Amino acid sequence: GDSVTQMEGPVTLSEEAFLTINCTYTATGYPSLFWYVQYPGEGLQLLLKATKADDKGSNKGFEATYRKETTSFHLEKGSVQVSDSAVYFCALSDNSGGGADGLTFGKGTHLIIQP
Amino acid sequence: ETGVTQTPRHLVMGMTNKKSLKCEQHLGHNAMYWYKQSAKKPLELMFVYSLEERVENNSVPSRFSPECPNSSHLFLHLHTLQPEDSALYLCASSQQGRLGGYTFGSGTRLTVV
């Protein structure tokens, strides 16, 4: 079945550091890939997405590129802020029509940014 | 406000109680989901409703019973829960055929005592 593997945290960085959170996946067909972010006490928010190979999703300074050859969707940000502290989830949907199969999530990576 | 509203935000219940979680969306989506989020574990998909029809998930114990009376509302009825059922229960919605991902509610933090 489908699965998503992401680095487990916590990941602790200083403000303005470069961030990479690795994500790899296994899936049949051509999945859509997502990064979600969860701030303390809240639900998940869509951060960015990519729906086909070589697509780059970007939002709020975060980027991720859909790499089919390495089955990866690593999240990057050039300069993190304290407000980026949260839990980040990589996810895939294996129904290209966005159908009702549900998303498959990684375990989440807790990111802590220190001033 | 994400467009998906869950109530209550927090719930403490005894193992013999019966309670219900409510989810409401006004995004015009036609699919709704229940997820369970426990510490140190990936989010677990519990139930899916597509066009108001349930997609079965056989791994969910029968003490959890979903209900979807219309495309905007989703309930999770709880009875005779166990302490290990304590978790954050998240509702989400999506539009089939649109590659926009899912919109999540803020969740209900459930504690079973």
| Average pLDDT for B8-21 | 94
Cβ-based contacts of A45 with chain B (< 8 Å): 2, 104
Q: Is A29 on the interface with B (CB under 8 A)?
A: no
Cβ-based contacts of A46 with chain B (< 8 Å): 100-103
Check A98 against B104: CB less than 8 A apart. Answer: no
A40, A47, B78 from B63: Cα distances, Å: 28, 34, 6
Cβ-based contacts of A100 with chain B (< 8 Å): 31, 33, 48-51, 55, 94, 96
What's the gap in Å between the CA of A65 and the closest CA on chain B?
Answer: 16
Cβ-based contacts of B52 with chain A (< 8 Å): none
Cβ-based contacts of B10 with chain A (< 8 Å): none
Q: By CA distance, what is B2's nearest residue in A?
A: A45
Q: By CA distance, what is B106's nearest residue in A?
A: A43
Q: Is the omega angle on the peptide bond into residue B69 within 30 degrees of 0, that is, cis?
A: no
Distance CA A109, CA B6 (A): 24
Evaluate whether A73 touches A93 at the Cβ level (below 8 Å): no
Check B101 against A44: CB less than 8 A apart. Answer: no
Q: Hunting for tokens 């079973």 — which residue is that?
A: B112
Q: Which candidate in B47, B95, B102 is best for mutational testing of the A interface (most A CBs within 10 A)? A: B102
Report, as ranges of residue numbers, the positions in chain A whose pLDDT lies below 70: 95-101
A4, A62, A88, A91, B37 from A107: Cα distances, Å: 8, 19, 9, 9, 10
Tens digits of residue pLDDT in B32-90: 999 999 987 888 889 999 877 787 676 899 999 999 999 899 999 999 999 999 999 99
> Is B98 a residue whose pLDDT tops 80?
no
Find all residues with CB under 8 Å of A41, minimum gap 6, and list them. Answer: B106
Q: Is B98 on the interface with A (CB under 8 A)?
A: yes
| Average pLDDT for B88-93 | 94
pLDDT at B41: 81
pLDDT at B85: 95
> Is B27 a residue whose pLDDT tops 70?
yes
Q: By CA distance, what is A4's nearest residue in B?
A: B42
User: How far is residue B28 CA from its own chain's centroid?
Assistant: 18
pLDDT at A91: 93
